[in-house]
Amino acid sequence: MSKSKNTLSTCYTSMECNSCKFIKKRKFSNGDVVFSTSEDCSECDGKMLITKIFGVIMD
């Protein structure tokens, strides 16, 4: 199984609320840093912590 050198990928940021443990995934934005707080939680108004940044290969 060989992979071509020119593959397209989309980067995502995964965040988790410190209070209610709600998990959210969104497209990566410049300035995203793992283990930093990014925005308020939409479920409980706690702070969302960036837990990982990853890419998904497009077919």
Mean pLDDT on 41-51: 93
Please report the pLDDT score of residue 59 as a whole number: 73
Number of structural domains found in the chain: 1
- State how beta strands 23-27 and 37-40 pair: unpaired
User: In this predicted model, what pLDDT tens digit does every residue of 22-43 receive, in sequence order?
Assistant: 999 999 999 999 999 988 999 9
Please report the pLDDT score of residue 12 as a whole number: 97
Which phi-psi region, left, alpha or beta, contains residue 31 (left: φ > 0; alpha: ψ -120 to 50)?
left
Q: How far is CA 10 from CA 21, 23, 26, 59, in A?
A: 25, 19, 11, 11
The model's confidence at residue 4, banded by pLDDT at 50, 70 and 90, is: low
CATH number, domain with residue 42: 3.30.1330.30
Q: Is residue 34 part of a domain?
A: yes
Range of the domain at 23: 9-57
Please report the pLDDT score of residue 1 as a whole number: 46
Name the average pLDDT for the chain: 89
